[in-house]
Structure formats: structure tokens, C-alpha cells
Structure 1
Amino acid sequence: MHASGHRRWPDAVKAQAVADTLEPGATVGAVAARYGIFPNQLSSWRRLAKQGKLVLPAVALDEPAFAPLLVHDVPEDPPEPPAAVSTAAIRIHFGAIRVEMAADTPAARIAEIVRALASSPC
């Protein structure tokens, strides 16, 4: 607790609380009570998650998730890496929500964000 009397919540706890609100039948009020916070604080955390500023935990899937697999031969003499670093970005558009990530963002992280967006009540 800070001198002002405010508690600091770790991002992992905030993310889990937000994820709990996305469960079927969950309400912000009930989840907030379970964590001992005000509903408006939890709503603020939900906004952070929607803006991509709070990362939600990965959702356990009942069924396996699949992604396309591309297989190709590796050339014997690999090409020289480009001299300039690419500034390309990965962009996800979901309704009014726009998320932009670095081109080297791990696939697992991208999948977490997509799952969070798909389960949001937007």
C-alpha cells in the first residue's frame, strides 16, 4: 500500500481479474467483490486490456488450436540478411479496436491477444 492509501496491483492479478469477467455468466460487480476492489476499478482495467495495455492470460482451449504449417527446403547458401531493419508491424483490427505490434512479436503473444479480443463483449 502506498502512502496515499492506494494499493498497487500486479499486472498479472489485474489481467486475471479482467479474464474472470469474460467467463460466461460473470459480472464486473461479482468479480470486483471477489478481488476486494470497486467495480469501476475493474472496468478501468478492462479498458486497459481493450487498448492492448494489459495482457490477459492465455485461455485454455477445450480443443486443439491449429495454424497453417509451411514446409520448405532451406537453400544451401542462405541469403544475406537485409542491411536495414524492417519497421513492418503486425496490425489487428477488431471492430473499433486497433492493435499494433512489432513484426517480431511471438506467435503465442499474437494468439493471446486475438483470443482476448474474440472473447471481449465489444
Structure 2
Amino acid sequence: WRRMAREGKLVLPNLEGITFVSVAVEEPGDALPDVPVAEAGTLDLVKGDVTIRLSAGTPAVRIAEIAAAL
């Protein structure tokens, strides 16, 4: 998007009449309990007709790398 903006090719939506609203942030509640891997099962990453099934124990960093590659 940066290259497109520099080249004047970035198409922006019509923002007339759009306003910003306030956001309220609540205090965090109790933490969710840890889910054992045996109960968690699998995770499916789906994009179009491609499905990648990963173990629930797959590190978040690896899941992010795979999602970015899709």
C-alpha cells in the first residue's frame, strides 16, 4: 500500500459523513483456564480451497508465519 500511495495509485473509500466514536476499555476479567493440548484438538487455517490442519500445540509464532504465507 505504501508503494501504491507513493505512485498515486492508492484508491481510498469515500469518507464523507464518517465520524469517530469513543471507545471504552474495561478492566480485564479473570484469566481463562489453560486448556490441555489433548482436549484442544487441532486448528485449521483455511484460505480459499487450501486448508492447513495444525496441532493445537503449534506455537503462535509458527501459526502466524503460516497464515502470513497464505
TM-score using structure 2 length: 0.46
Task: Specify which structure has the higher proportion of strand.
Answer: 2
| Greater relative CO (CA pairs within 8 A, separation 6+) | 1
TM-score using structure 1 length: 0.28
Task: Specify which structure has the higher proportion of helix.
Answer: 1
Larger radius of gyration: 2
